[in-house]
Structure 1
Amino acid sequence: MRLGFVLREMGAGLRRNFTMTVSVVLVTMVSLFFLGLGLLVQQQVSILKGDWYDRVQVSIFLCGEVSSEENCPTGAVTAEQRDALRAQLEASPLVDRVFYESQQEAYENFLEQYDDSLTENVTPDALPESFRVRLTQPDRYEEIRDQFAGQPGVEDVPDQRAILGPLFAAMDGATRVAIGLAALMLLCSVLLVSTTIRLTAFSRRRETSIMRLVGASRALIQLPFVLEGVVASFVGAVLASGALYALVEFGVGRLSDRPDFTTRLVETSDVLWPTAPVLVGVGVVFAVAASLLSLRRWLRV
């Protein structure tokens, strides 16, 4: 019987404040959409870091005729130095496979990657020969770099992963912007829920006064008001999850379906778990907190 009473009171409150309820739903939807977008971007950053860092090979550039004396005091790499470096690399437990690239091969690859305006003045002698090393544990790159940088015949061991740094920094920045907007919109949502609940409580103050006089508990009086905020926020969270699902399905999904696109992107399963449950949980928790705080003044018993 009490459950029926609570549900009736909740339904009456939603009908009386229909416009405000719709506003709460829309504001909550927008705020949680930005929050979910930030979470998906962060998941995408994690996927790309895992995939791309694993693909990146360590490049050990060898000294050539045009190398600076500071990096190569003994001059161009000799055959003995080259063979010794290769033997060390193949003996290392961190190395999965070693590829040697001669100056001519480096020049041919350079021609394939760049247009004639950049390659017309470049000769094979201007490009260094190198070892391309695939690691068994890419996260231990620094150990290989420390071991081979500065050895005789080695000009440089650049960290190719640093090339990806600006990209990931930009994506991390996009994540922070999305979460910042979400926080601002969530604040607006909390204020709107509080205002709606206060207006509802004020309009029904005579009813609540009577309930207090007849001995109704604080929880019974507050529950219909709290449920109004929870329902509105829950609907907003579901709509935000649906919008994110559509974005991934019809936006990101079409890009992933292209045969020439090999990078793994976020999928609809990432929206269903864990993003959607997080959005629903955040929406409900904020609604309950805002409702209880706004009722402290009007429903003191």
Structure 2
Amino acid sequence: MKLSTFGFLIGRGLRNLGTHWAMTLACVGSMAVCMTLNTAAQLAEVNVDSMVNYLGSQNETVVYLDPECDDATAAQAGEKISALNGVSNVIYVSKEDVLDTYRDYMEEYASLWDEFENDNPFKANYRVTVSDLTQLSQLSKQMERIPGVVKVTAPMDLTNTFVEIQQTVTKVGAGFVIVLMVVSVITVGSTIRLSVFARRREVEIMKYVGATNALVTLPFVVEGLAIGFIAGGISAGASIGGYAALVNAAGGLGGIWQMLVGSSLVPLKSVWPTILSSSLVSGALVGGLGSMFSIRKHLNV
């Protein structure tokens, strides 16, 4: 295909956008809405993952050591805990540190805590942070089998709740994305089908005189790509603007909501390049697929 012919066909495809401008606007609008909802579902999934990871990092697993174990056994236990795959942080807390912590909490009973100086009832322990909450149960069992460990206290109920929320959002988000992609393809296909129907005689004549399938298809594919690209740009702008407003609003929250939302939302600078590129690429891809599916049956003349 000559370069001039290629340029002519691309121009023809772009001019087709104005042939049925009302349908084109409706298609761009519906696609932009679908893609914006799609992006919102993906952002929700990313932020729920971030929130679960953040909350997981705030909930430590406490590994209590046998009061009778010596310093060497306690040190070896700490090394084995740190070596476990999935453990991100380990902090040793001696019996004296625990006693000092409780003394600070209850200063009015300072004389009572002084009596424990020579007979400390507390156990030395390791405060363990797990990077992946789904591994917490398995890691707790592994830590219980380490020599010198007598008990492991882990926030299992809270962790299971976080993990269930994370898995549910992931599944719902994936289904949402698939449904909206199908709707977008059908929407573009309907617009291109209308354009093809209006020019069906022209397509038939081109085929009769020997035009190749590529020559006939290219203008319609360009039209679909343009629709998808425009819709993707609108969707990206709406998504980035909406997410920026959400991040700013989260900064004004107070109390537990600040801890849960404000401290764990993924920063805008980390997601906007992905939102922009994925919206433009997915929009063009959906538009191109919708065009090819619509024109295919009209090529058999």
- Which TM-score applies when normalising by structure 1? 0.71
Kept in 1, the 8 Å contact 2:45–2:173? The answer is no
CA 1:86/1:159 → structure 2, altered by over 3 Å: closer, same or farther? farther
| Deviation of the 1:145 alpha carbon | 4.5
Instruction: Establish whether residue 97 from structure 1 lines up as the match of residue 94 from structure 2.
Output: no
Give the one of 73, 76, 79 matched to 1:88: 73
What are the equivalent positions in structure 2 for 1:189-204 lying under 5 Å apart? 189-204=184-199
Residues of 1 paired with 2:175 and 2:61: CA distance? 37
Q: Distance in 1 between matches of 2:8 and 2:199?
A: 15
Question: Does residue 270 in structure 1 map to residue 270 in structure 2?
Answer: yes
The one-letter code of the counterpart of 2:142 is: D
Indicate the SS of the match to 1:97.
Answer: strand
* 1-structure distance, mates of 2:291, 2:278: 20
Match of 2:34 among 31, 34, 37: 31
| Aligned counterparts, 1:155-166, within 5 A | 156-160=151-155, 162-166=157-161
Q: Which runs of 5+ in 1 are unaligned?
A: 63-80, 110-127
Tell me by how many angstroms 1:295 deviates: 0.9
For residues 127-142 of structure 1, what are the structure 2 equivalents within 5 Å? 129=122, 131-135=124-128, 142=138
Name the CA distance, whole Å, in 2 between partners of 1:208 and 1:272: 42
Deviation at 1:15, TM superposition (A): 1.0
Change (3 A) 1:176 1:18: farther
Q: State the shift of 1:222 in Å.
A: 0.8
Instruction: State the distance in 2 between where 1:45 and 1:210 align.
Output: 55
TM-score (norm 2): 0.71
Residue 114 of structure 2 is matched in structure 1 by none
Asked if the contact 1:40–1:270 (Cα under 8 Å) also holds between the matched residues in 2, the reply is: no
- 2:62 touches 2:128 (CA, 8 Å); kept in 1? no
Alignment of 1:170-189 (within 5 A): 170-189=165-184
CA RMSD of aligned residues (A): 3.6
- Decide which moves more: 52-61 or 11-20: 52-61
Note closer, same or farther for the CA distance 1:167–1:58 as it changes in structure 2 (3 Å cut): closer
CA displacement, residues 163-219 of structure 1 (integer Å, 9 cap, x when unaligned): 233134224323433332332222222112112111111101222233234433221
Task: Provide, for residues 63-94 of structure 1, a one-character-per-residue CA deviation record: whole Å limited to 9, x for no partner.
Answer: xxxxxxxxxxxxxxxxxx42527763333213
Which amino acid is 2:287 matched to? Answer: A
CA deviations over 1:136-174 (Å, ceiling 9, x no partner): 8756865565344698994x4232265233134224323
Name the CA distance, whole Å, in 2 between partners of 1:253 and 1:280. Answer: 25
Taking a change above 3 Å as real, the CA distance of residues 169 and 144 of structure 1, as seen in their structure-2 partners, is closer
CA contact (8 A) 2:186 2:290 kept: yes
Alignment size in residue pairs: 264
Q: Residue 69 of structure 1 aligns with which residue?
A: none
Corresponding residue to 1:18 among 17, 21, 27 = 21
Residues 297 and 224 (structure 1 numbering): CA distance in 2 closer, same or farther, change over 3 Å? Answer: same
- Number of the residue aligned with 1:250: 245
Deviation of 1:129 after TM superposition, in Å, equals 4.8
**Aligned partners of 2:63 and 2:143 also within 8 Å:** no
> Which runs of structure 1 show a deviation greater than 6 angstroms over 4 or more consecutive aligned residues?
149-153, 257-260
Q: How many Å separate the matches in 2 of 1:144 and 1:164? A: 12
Note closer, same or farther for the CA distance 1:135–1:211 as it changes in structure 2 (3 Å cut): same
Fraction of identical pairs, as percent: 22
CA distance in 2, matches of 1:248, 1:132: 42
Q: 272-281 vs 8-17, which deviates more?
A: 272-281
For 1:98, give the aligned amino acid.
Y
**Between 220-229 and 128-137, the greater mean CA deviation after superposition:** 128-137
Report the AA paired with residue 18 of structure 1.
W
Whole-Å Cα distance in 2 between the matches of residues 269 and 104 of structure 1?
40
Amino acid at match of 2:266: V
Q: Secondary structure at the match of 1:186?
A: helix
- Corresponding position of 2:295: 295
1:206 aligns with 2:180: no
Secondary structure of residue in 2 paired with 1:157: strand
Structure 1 counterpart of 2:142, from 143, 146, 164: 146
